[in-house]
Amino acid sequence: MLLAELRMLYRRTMVRVLLIVLFLIPVLLAVAVRFSGGPGAGQGPTFLDQVSHNGVFAALAGLTVCITFFLPLTVAVVAGDTIAGESSLGTLRYLLTRPAGRVRLLGVKAATVVAYTLSAALAVAIGGLAAGAALFPIGPVVGLSGTPLSLGDGIARSLLAAVIVGASLLGLAAVGMFVSTLINSPVGAMVITAGIEVAGLVIQGVPQLGFAHPWLFNHHWLAFGDVLRTPIYWSNIGRDLLLQVGYVAVFGAAAWARFTTRDVLA
Amino acid sequence: MPRGAVFGFLGPNGSGKTTTIRMLLGLIAPSDGSWQLLGSDMPGSAMRTLPRVGALIEGPAFYPWLSGRDNLARLDAAGPDGQRSTRAARIAAALQRVGLEAAAGRKYRAYSLGMRQRLGLAAALLRRRELLVLDEPTNGMDPQGTREIRNLVRELASDGTTVFLSSHLLSEVEQVCTHAAVMALGRLLAQGTLAELRAAGEARLHVGVDDPVRAAEILAGLGLADVVVRGGEVTARLDGTVGPERCNRELVLAGVGVASLVAERPSLEDLFVALTGEGFDVAR
């Protein structure tokens, strides 16, 4: 069933378009830097000023640009659609009488969301690496600690950064799946989840609400940059992943409690 | 309901037919009480029982961006008992059974209402079932389709499949069902074999005669109640003590010319209206 579900996910036009757009964002970024000369050192989003020296940085710059808004937005769309989408089509009642099993169905849907977040983050990184290699010189990466890394190591760490970004979106994805079990309208679930994401951004931007910041799902979203330190500085990444595990546990349990007991009328 | 029966489930709109089906299949939980399906307690046995049940609930529902064939494959892959090795053959057989082979590769989005209904039936026929629950299976179908569905239901029943047919088309139920039940306002009003249900209503004698007044006197004299003269026709209630043969003989011996004589059992429709009322308003 998982295989069939994954095939369905990647066959959907919506998902394909999202992945292509995510792939193109760092490409666009690299093209802009190539033809405008790029920001001076220390200006613009993190890593963007380095792109003209070394194309590998286009992947990290792309991740930095996407993680704050667009990437979580697409996760809200895919996670919000999981149960509410089936419910609004009416296919949920046929899956449940098949019987797919409510817990099993929720688990399979969660697995597809994980697959999506990872593919989405990797699409950005791969787009960045491809555009960076095509438009700029690439070579050994000078990490944030000043130690040079070999080109292969640099690319591997960019992909690792993408995996970390994908994982740090799982908290929001769990929230989205929970919302999706609450209502029958996929668009409604997407909008509510996206609203929660924006609310998170706003709260993160208000210093007076600093007490809440460490508990927000987006607090450590930029921690992935630490993969460029030698040795990799795991502290913030670890805190990020722990936070995501917490969100997944809480909202996953809520989604389970809701979905296994609800009346399916649609 | 007995195994192997074709069970007609009747009731006006809003009487609780679909709610009963949803509950039966574990989609909603009853506010009170318990239920069994194929002899096992539900919903505990759902994973073992439901694979043996094919269902068409409140019309078909599929993914518009997948073809008919892919939709069936996805549904088959989503639960137990759907062997992958036989999947393609089972899908082809089910599509052929509902006459949809030609449109199997087309996207569900492009299907007409009747084709969607057929695909829903094909999904219910993907595996061998002990019980088929069909909610308004001929909704939106052309006359040929309706006829084919009737034949299909008869064929399945003769293979030993029990069919639970929810419908408001009384003629449909009358033609294919062996048993029936009538619901209204969430309550079961009557159930039994079709013959039993009909017997519950009163039969009436209709005679066309040349001398209605004289005929009425004779029928009343035989002890028939509720004798009504309407034009050239006299009707009376048959209570079972005096048969129609006897009435005919008495009329002819008395010199009354009999043009026609019918002992009419109440139709399912009469019974239905008698049980659920005449009103047009949706209940509650």
State the CATH number of the domain containing residue B215: 3.30.70.1510
Using a CB–CB cutoff of 8 Å, tell me whether A36 touches chain B: no
Would you call B66 and A98 a contact, using CB atoms and an 8 Å cutoff? no
Using a CB–CB cutoff of 8 Å, tell me whether A147 touches chain B: no
Domain shared by B155 and B227, yes or no: no
Last residue of a domain, one of B141, B174, B198: B198
The reply to whether A266 falls in a domain is no
Would you call A99 and B65 a contact, using CB atoms and an 8 Å cutoff? no
Would you call A263 and B28 a contact, using CB atoms and an 8 Å cutoff? yes
Shortest Cα distance, chain B CAs vs residue A15, angstroms = 13
Distance between CA atoms of residues B283 and B187, nearest Å? 12
Mean pLDDT of A76-93: 96
Domain shared by B140 and B157, yes or no: yes
Q: How confident is the model at residue B281 (pLDDT cuts 50, 70, 90)?
A: low
Distance between CA atoms of residues A176 and A117, nearest Å? 12
Please determine, for residue A86, whether its predicted confidence score (pLDDT) is greater than 90. yes
Cα dihedral B270→B274→B277→B283 (10° resolution): -90
Query: What pLDDT does residue B109 have?
Result: 96
The reply to whether A142 falls in a domain is yes
Q: How confident is the model at residue A198 (pLDDT cuts 50, 70, 90)?
A: very high
Please determine, for residue A98, whether its predicted confidence score (pLDDT) is greater than 50. yes
Q: Which residue has the tokens 């508990």?
A: A215
Last residue of a domain, one of B198, B220, B245: B198
Is the pLDDT higher at A133 or at B276? A133
Domain count, chain B: 2
Give me the interface pTM, i.e. the ipTM: 0.88
Query: What pLDDT does residue A41 have?
Result: 66
**In 3-state terms, what secondary structure has residue A90?**
coil
Measured at the CA of B259, the angle between CA B253 and CA B260, to 5 degrees, comes to: 100
For B121-145, the pLDDT digits (tens) are: 999 999 989 999 999 888 878 888 8
Domain count, chain A: 1
Of A161-165, B69-73, B152-156, the poorest mean pLDDT is in B152-156
The reply to whether B279 falls in a domain is no
Distance between CA atoms of residues A261 and A253, nearest Å? 12
Nearest residue in chain A measured CA to CA from B46:
A99
How crowded is the C-beta side of B154, counted as CA atoms within 13 Å?
11
The reply to whether A158 falls in a domain is yes
> pLDDT above 90 covers what percent of chain B?
38
Nearest residue in chain B measured CA to CA from A2:
B78
Query: What pLDDT does residue B282 have?
Result: 58
Q: How confident is the model at residue B172 (pLDDT cuts 50, 70, 90)?
A: confident
Is the pLDDT higher at B68 or at B80? B68
| Residue from the list A4, A8, A264 with its beta carbon closest to the beta carbon of B28 | A264
User: Which two three-digit tokens encode residue A107?
Assistant: 């688990």
Query: What pLDDT does residue A43 have?
Result: 67
Domain shared by B108 and B206, yes or no: no
Q: Any idea what DSSP says for residue A125? A: H
Name the burial class of residue A245, with classes exposed (0-12), middle (13-18) and buried (19+) by CB atoms within 10 angstroms of its CB.
Answer: middle
Residues of A whose CB is below 8 A from B46: 99, 101
Domain shared by B194 and B208, yes or no: no
Please determine, for residue B283, whether its predicted confidence score (pLDDT) is greater than 60. no
The reply to whether B18 falls in a domain is yes
Domain shared by B164 and B241, yes or no: no
Would you call B27 and A98 a contact, using CB atoms and an 8 Å cutoff? no
Of A169-183, A246-260, B265-279, the poorest mean pLDDT is in B265-279
Query: What pLDDT does residue B222 have?
Result: 87
Using a CB–CB cutoff of 8 Å, tell me whether A16 touches chain B: no
Shortest Cα distance, chain B CAs vs residue A86, angstroms = 9
Chain centre to alpha carbon of residue A244: 12
The reply to whether B189 falls in a domain is yes
The reply to whether B278 falls in a domain is no
Give me the sign of the Cα torsion angle B10, B37, A95, A192. positive
Query: CB pairs below 8 Å between A and B: how many?
Result: 77
For B38-51, the pLDDT digits (tens) are: 888 888 888 889 99
Query: What pLDDT does residue B108 have?
Result: 96
Domain shared by B46 and B161, yes or no: yes
Residues of B whose CB is below 8 A from A4: 73-74, 77-78
Please determine, for residue A97, whether its predicted confidence score (pLDDT) is greater than 60. yes
- Compute chain A's Rg from CA coordinates: 19
Using a CB–CB cutoff of 8 Å, tell me whether A160 touches chain B: no
For A16-48, the pLDDT digits (tens) are: 999 999 999 999 999 999 888 766 666 667 788
- Give this prediction's pTM: 0.88
The reply to whether B275 falls in a domain is no
Residues of B whose CB is below 8 A from A265: 22, 27-28
| Residue from the list B50, B73, B123 with its beta carbon closest to the beta carbon of A99 | B50
The reply to whether B283 falls in a domain is no
Shortest Cα distance, chain A CAs vs residue B179, angstroms = 25
Would you call B22 and A265 a contact, using CB atoms and an 8 Å cutoff? yes
Query: What pLDDT does residue B279 have?
Result: 63
User: Which two three-digit tokens encode residue A68?
Assistant: 């704050």
Nearest residue in chain B measured CA to CA from A103:
B47
Would you call A96 and B59 a contact, using CB atoms and an 8 Å cutoff? no
Mean pLDDT of chain A: 93
Mean pLDDT of B276-281: 67
Please determine, for residue B192, whether its predicted confidence score (pLDDT) is greater than 80. yes
The reply to whether B122 falls in a domain is yes
Which residues form the domain of A125?
2-261
Last residue of a domain, one of B198, B217, B240: B198
Domain shared by B60 and B187, yes or no: yes
Cα dihedral A193→A197→A200→A205 (10° resolution): -150
Domain shared by B127 and B53, yes or no: yes
Would you call A12 and B65 a contact, using CB atoms and an 8 Å cutoff? yes
Query: What pLDDT does residue A177 have?
Result: 97
Residues of B whose CB is below 8 A from A81: none
Shortest Cα distance, chain A CAs vs residue B195, angstroms = 33
Would you call B79 and A94 a contact, using CB atoms and an 8 Å cutoff? no
Mean pLDDT of chain B: 88
| Residue from the list A4, A95, A265 with its beta carbon closest to the beta carbon of B28 | A265
Domain shared by B170 and B82, yes or no: yes
Of A171-175, B141-145, B172-176, B198-202, the poorest mean pLDDT is in B198-202
In DSSP terms, which residues pair with B258 in a beta bridge? B209
> pLDDT above 90 covers what percent of chain A?
81
Mean pLDDT of B182-199: 85
Please determine, for residue A175, whether its predicted confidence score (pLDDT) is greater than 80. yes
Would you call B78 and A97 a contact, using CB atoms and an 8 Å cutoff? no
Q: B118: domain CATH number? A: 3.40.50.300
Q: How confident is the model at residue B170 (pLDDT cuts 50, 70, 90)?
A: confident
Residues of A whose CB is below 8 A from B66: 8, 11
Give me the sign of the Cα torsion angle A94, A97, A98, A101. positive
Which residues form the domain of B170?
6-198
The reply to whether A140 falls in a domain is yes
Nearest residue in chain B measured CA to CA from A264:
B27
Domain shared by B152 and B30, yes or no: yes
Mean pLDDT of B9-29: 90
Query: What pLDDT does residue B284 have?
Result: 46
The reply to whether B208 falls in a domain is yes
Domain shared by B54 and B150, yes or no: yes
Would you call B26 and A96 a contact, using CB atoms and an 8 Å cutoff? yes
Q: Is the peptide bond before A99 cis (omega within 30 degrees of 0)?
A: yes
Please determine, for residue B280, whether its predicted confidence score (pLDDT) is greater than 60. no
Domain shared by B115 and B209, yes or no: no
